Amino acid sequence: MTTITAVKECSTTNCAYNNDGCRAFAITIGGSTAKATCGTFIALDARGGLQVADGHVGACQRLECRHNTDLMCTAEMITVGDAANCVSYEIL
């Protein structure tokens, strides 16, 4: 893998890292058995993170996802939905 997967879009408006896009330096995709979600999601009244929306996937804990190689996301980019779910998640 030569690049780190970008967070193309995040529509989870109540996340402290979403301010016109994902401003976390890197997110972790985790979640329960049937649902891949952003483990970096945090609901606060404050906004934080990078000065610009340039978030990336730092780690992926979903071994059954077709985009996971060695716990890294290999998708070109991902989308995070309004419930902090990874819309790009695909089961093998």
Instruction: Tell me the CA end-to-end span of the chain in Å, nearest whole number.
Output: 19
Amino acid at 84: A
Is residue 58 within 8 Å of 26, Cβ to Cβ? Answer: yes
Res. 1: pLDDT tops 60: no
pLDDT of residue 3: 77
State both tokens at 43.
């609901």
pLDDT of residue 34: 82
In tens, the pLDDT along 26-82 reads 999 999 878 999 999 999 999 999 999 999 999 999 999 999 999 999 999 999 999
Sign of the Cα torsion 63, 27, 33, 87 reads: negative
3-state secondary structure of 77: strand
Res. 2: pLDDT tops 80: no
